[in-house]
Each structure stands twice: as structure tokens, then as C-alpha cells.
């Protein structure tokens, strides 16, 4: 239970000037005095407490509204603010304890910022009146669970799921159509897929980028271009994707919620699709806390990765912008998301993953995996949730070039913890550390390619693009082939 916390975090800059009636301001003060100590309320004005085990998710420094990010530390602390527990871990644990974990699957909307910092009780009262006060009270005190749920939803679901969002907890299958990319085609054909990533350059020159693309192109199906990984600005992912397309190479456009608003997301995707980009990976993005100084805004400003998937799926399947405008030329999209199989408990991770699949994820790229046997528990949980047949999974594999790289990943990359035995192997290898790193990657590939439910690997090169050829050929995964246009 939280102590009183003022609505500091969600107080918009214009708050002191916003003219509201005395009654509304008074109600807001009373609301924070009650909900603050009881639920840790931050007065986001878009209350979700009924779906988050009555713990306010707005305590999350990134403002995540649909579950934890992949950066939770092994001690279940928040990587942005390591002085406190990940609030989403607490929410999930409480939901599990009270048997309410399925409520966590509902895809929750982004904030309506016009309501931030204002009271929400007025809406509740209005909805209760609409339902009928007597009927509402009767339903709430009823022993009939279904009746209780119906009457509860008639008030609270209407508030937390405004018409412009209308989120749910259902799986929305993509319409039957021809694959829109080579990546999708190979997945659907049942091939074991290899993807990789090429680091975007830090300057405007594209010579090295082109060399790197050309060097990996014959060995992979698609290339990811990161979106300012580690919150360090580099060439944009969309520009790198265009360079790849010009070289008849299939890109995966990574787009981080960290730097996106609902407006920029929708316009970027329409634009990206117009120039031939169809594989999209929606991620939260590394928080600026691990980026360069001075630290920029640590919130995810507007949308999270689940909401990104939901918005893009509706653009593709319904030809609709979030504001309800319809358009004729729908984008062809193959939608992906990131997942961190070892970030928290596999049971909890599977809930978040199911939510992403329901929202629109068609493929997953996992965080780095060094202990493939630990994947089994996670896969088991995905299977229990019946999502293994709804999503293609690429396992993240990294060839470690040196002990320094291993240490960097361990301490600086959210959601990656290097197992002690890997660290010891790298240390012991001394000058042959890069060879040891390759052997570790080959062992991981050998293990994952025999696992049910895994559809391929994603080689995270960590700027060591030249190793891709050796990895794919020595692992016996692929013989070089020319890429075809999607």
C-alpha cells in the first residue's frame, strides 16, 4: 500500500492555468487524498485501477500502461529507478494471487491528455446514474459473480475503454492474404529463419552502412535497423531501411515508443509503407537513463509498445487512424514485437506476451539468450496460453567479441543478465575470447533450432557484422541465397 504521493509526475505544465470549476478542483483534491494512500494514485485522469489489481501503474517511471517493459532487473527492481520494485511486477503478482490475472490481458488505451491531473469521480457518478444507481448497488453486493461483473463493467469499462480505443482482451487474427514480406513468407512456409541487425551509422555517411548490409545480405532473410539503441542518437531506422531497400535487401523497421507519439507513429508508418517498408518491430525502447548525459525525458511520452501494435493493426486491417478517420490505401504490414523470456517470472512474461499477440504481434524477437534451456519454461507458458501457434519466434543470439562486450551487456543493457558460467568462459578464454564468443553463439543456435515453437534466430551483431557469415554457415542453418523482393 502506498503512502500519499502528490500527483507531481502527471501534473502537466499548463495545470496551474487550467480553469476548472471550484467543484471539480475540490473533487480532485479529495480524490488524490483518498486514492493516493489507498492505491498510489498519480492522478493520470484516465483511471485503470480496476484492471491493474488496484495498484496505480503510473508509478512506473516509463508510464507503461499495459504491463512491464523488458528491463526489470533480476532482483525485480526497475532499471530506470533501481531504488524501487518494478510496479508492474507487483501488479502481476497481486493479480495472480487474487486470481485476476486474465484481467491484465485487456489492451488499455493511451492517456487522453486533456484529462491528466483532473478528477475521475465525476465520470464514475455519471456512469452509475446511467446504469441506474439501484441496479449498480444491487449488482455489486450480489453473490452472482456474472451479474457483479456485468454491472461493474457497465460503469468502469465504459470509462477506461473510451469509444476511440475500445480495447479488449481478444485475439484479432490478421486477415487471410498473401505474405507481405519474405520474412512472413518463410515463417509461414515453416522455414527456420535467420535475421540479423546492422548498426546504424552515427554520421550521415552511408558507405559503412552499405558495406555492412552487403556483407550480411546473402546469409539472412531480413535486417533490423535499431532505433537509437541505448537511447544514443544515430541514423534513423527508417533511413537505414530505405538504404537497404535500394540494395534489394529486406529491412525490419524498429520503432521505439520512447521517441514516438501517436501522431508520429501513424504518419511514419504510412510513409514507411509508401517506400516499401513492411516489417515493423514495435518496442518500448531503451530508457534515456542509460543514454548519454544530460538525461532526456524518462517517460514514454505518449504510447507503449502494446498500444503501438493495436494502432498499427487497426490501420492495416480496418484502414482507420486512431482518431477514426478512414483511408483507402491500407498499409501492408507484418507486425513484430520484442520479448524478454527471462525478464521476470515465465508465468508473468507469458501474460504480457499474450497481450502483445492479441494486440497485433505476428512475430517476436527475443532479448539475448545465453541459456537456451531456460526457454523451456517460458515456451511451456506460451503454449498454455495457446499463443505458440499465433506468433513466430526468433531467438536473439549474440556472438560476444570480447569480455568487455560481455560485461557491457551485463551491466548496461536492460533485461540482459549474463550467466556466471558464460562470464567465466569468456574470462578463461583470455585472448581467444572472440572465438569463445562464437562457440557460445553456435551452441545456443544448436540448442534452439531443435526446440518446438522456435522459428528462427535473430543475430544481434553488436557492431560485429562480419561474423554473420561464419555463424550462419558453421551452424549449418543456411546456404547463401539471393534475396527476393517481398
> Is 87 a residue that touches ligand SF4 (CB under 6 A)?
yes
Site for ligand SF4 contains 291 (CB under 6 A):
no
| Rounded Cα gap, residues 108 and 379, in angstroms | 25
Please report the DSSP string for 113-152 in residue order: GGGTTS--HHHHHHHHHHH-HHHHHHHHH-S-HHHHHHHH
> Could you tell me which stretch among 62-70, 188-196, 213-221, 345-353 binds ligand SF4 (CB under 6 A)?
62-70
91 binds ligand SF4 (CB under 6 A): no
Residue 258 is a binding residue for ligand SF4 (CB under 6 A):
no
Q: Among 36, 40, 45, 68, which residue sits at the site for ligand SF4 (rule: CB under 6 A)?
A: 68
Distances (CA, A) of 2 to 5, 28, 85: 8, 18, 13
Nearer to ligand SF4, 61 or 201 (CB): 61
| Angle, alpha carbons 391-58-346 (nearest 5°) | 35
- Which span sits near ligand SF4 by CB under 6 A: 64-72, 136-144, 212-220, 451-459? 64-72
Closest CB to ligand SF4 among 69 and 467? 69
Smallest distance, ligand SF4 to C-beta of residue 415, A: 9
Separation of alpha carbons 278 and 270, rounded Å? 10
Q: Which stretch binds ligand SF4 (CB under 6 A): 35-43, 77-85, 230-238, 475-483?
A: 77-85
Cell numbers representing residue 376 in the block:
523451456
Peptide bond into 38 cis (omega under 30): no
String of b and e for 78-101 (b: at least 16 CB within 10 Å)?
A: bbbbeeebbbbbbbbbebbeeebb
Termini Cα distance of the chain:
53
72 lies in the site for ligand SF4, by CB under 6 A = yes
CA distances from 334 to 287, 337, 350 (A): 25, 10, 21
Asked if residue 27 binds ligand SF4 (CB under 6 A), the reply is no
Backbone angles phi, psi at 480, to 5 degrees: -55, 140
State which residue, 72 or 128, has the beta carbon closest to ligand SF4.
Answer: 72
* Span interacting with ligand SF4, options 71-79, 235-243, 329-337, 346-354, rule CB under 6 A: 71-79
| Contact between residue 336 and residue 280 where contact means Cβ atoms under 8 Å apart | yes
Q: Which is nearer to ligand SF4, 340 or 434 (CB)?
A: 340
d(CA 475, CA 316): 37
| Contact between 348 and ligand SF4 per CB under 6 A | no
Is 342 among the residues that bind ligand SF4 (CB under 6 A)? no
Residue 231 contacts ligand SF4 per CB under 6 A: no
- CB under 6 A: which stretch of 85-93, 121-129, 193-201, 275-283 binds ligand SF4? 85-93
**Within a 10 A sphere around the Cβ of 138, how many other Cβ atoms?**
13
Give the contacts of 263 (CB within 8 A, at least 6 positions apart). none
- Residue 80 binds ligand SF4, judged by CB under 6 A: yes
Least distance CB 344 / ligand SF4 (angstroms): 9
Position 265 contacts ligand SF4 (CB under 6 A) = no
Site residues (CB under 6 A) for ligand SF4?
Answer: 60-62, 64, 68-69, 71-72, 78-80, 86-88
Amino acid at each position: 500500500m502506498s503512502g500519499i504521493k502528490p500527483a507531481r509526475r502527471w501534473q502537466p505544465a499548463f495545470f496551474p492555468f487550467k480553469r476548472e470549476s471550484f467543484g471539480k478542483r475540490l473533487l480532485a483534491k479529495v480524490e488524490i487524498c483518498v486514492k493516493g494512500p489507498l492505491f498510489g494514485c498519480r492522478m493520470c485522469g484516465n483511471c485503470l485501477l480496476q484492471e491493474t489489481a488496484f495498484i496505480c501503474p503510473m508509478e512506473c517511471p516509463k508510464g507503461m500502461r499495459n504491463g512491464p517493459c523488458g528491463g526489470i532487473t533480476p532482483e525485480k527492481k526497475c532499471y530506470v529507478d533501481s531504488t524501487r520494485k518494478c510496479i508492474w511486477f507487483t501488479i502481476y503478482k497481486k493479480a495472480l494471487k487474487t486470481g485476476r490475472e486474465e484481467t491484465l490481458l485487456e489492451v488499455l488505451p493511451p492517456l487522453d491528455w486533456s484529462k491528466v491531473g483532473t478528477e475521475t469521480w465525476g465520470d464514475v457518478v455519471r456512469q452509475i446514474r446511467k446504469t441506474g444507481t439501484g441496479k449498480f448497488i444491487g449488482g455489486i453486493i450480489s453473490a452472482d459473480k456474472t451479474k457483479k461483473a456485468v454491472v461493474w463493467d457497465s460503469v468502469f469499462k465504459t470509462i477506461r475503454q473510451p469509444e476511440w480505443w475500445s480495447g479488449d482482451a481478444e485475439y484479432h487474427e490478421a486477415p487471410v492474404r498473401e505474405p507481405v514480406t519474405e520474412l512472413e513468407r518463410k515463417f509461414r512456409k515453416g522455414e527456420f529463419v535467420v535475421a540479423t541487425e546492422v548498426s546504424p551509422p552515427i554520421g550521415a555517411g552511408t558507405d559503412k552502412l552499405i558495406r555492412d548490409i552487403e556483407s550480411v545480405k546473402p546469409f539472412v532473410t531480413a535486417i533490423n535497423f535499431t532505433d537509437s539503441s541505448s537511447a544514443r542518437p544515430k541514423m534513423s531506422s527508417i533511413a537505414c531501411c530505405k538504404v537497404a531497400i535500394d540494395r534489394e535487401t529486406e529491412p525490419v523497421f524498429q520503432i521505439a515508443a520512447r521517441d514516438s507519439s501517436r501522431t508520429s507513429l501513424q504518419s511514419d508508418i504510412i510513409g514507411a509503407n509508401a517506400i516499401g517498408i513492411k516489417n515493423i518491430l514495435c518496442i518500448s525502447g531503451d530508457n534515456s537513463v542509460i543514454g548519454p548525459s544530460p538525461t532526456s525525458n524518462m517517460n514514454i511520452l505518449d504510447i507503449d509498445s502494446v498500444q503501438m501494435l493495436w494502432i498499427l493493426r487497426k490501420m492495416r486491417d480496418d484502414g482507420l487512424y486512431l482518431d477514426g478517420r478512414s483511408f483507402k490505401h491500407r498499409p501492408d504490414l507484418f507486425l513484430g514485437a520484442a520479448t524478454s523470456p527471462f525478464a521476470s517470472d515465465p508465468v508473468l512474461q507469458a501474460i504480457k506476451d499474450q497481450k502483445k499477440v492479441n494486440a497485433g504481434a505476428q512475430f517476436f524477437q527475443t532479448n539475448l539468450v545465453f541459456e537456451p534451456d531456460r526457454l523451456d519454461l517460458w515456451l511451456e507458458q506460451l503454449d498454455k496460453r495457446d499463443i505458440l501457434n499465433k506468433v513466430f519466434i526468433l531467438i536473439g543470439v549474440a556472438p560476444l567479441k570480447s569480455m568487455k562486450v560481455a560485461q557491457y551487456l551485463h551491466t548496461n543493457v536492460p533485461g540482459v543478465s549474463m550467466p556466471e558460467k558464460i562470464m567465466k568462459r569468456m574470462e578463461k578464454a583470455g585472448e581467444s575470447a572472440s572465438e569463445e564468443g562464437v562457440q557460445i553463439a553456435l551452441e545456443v543456435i544448436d540448442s534452439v533450432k531443435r526446440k518446438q515453437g522456435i522459428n528462427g534466430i535473430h543475430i544481434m551483431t553488436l557492431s560485429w557484422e562480419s561474423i554473420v557469415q561464419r555463424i550462419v554457415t558453421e551452424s549449418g542453418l543456411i546456404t547463401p541465397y539471393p534475396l527476393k523482393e517481398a
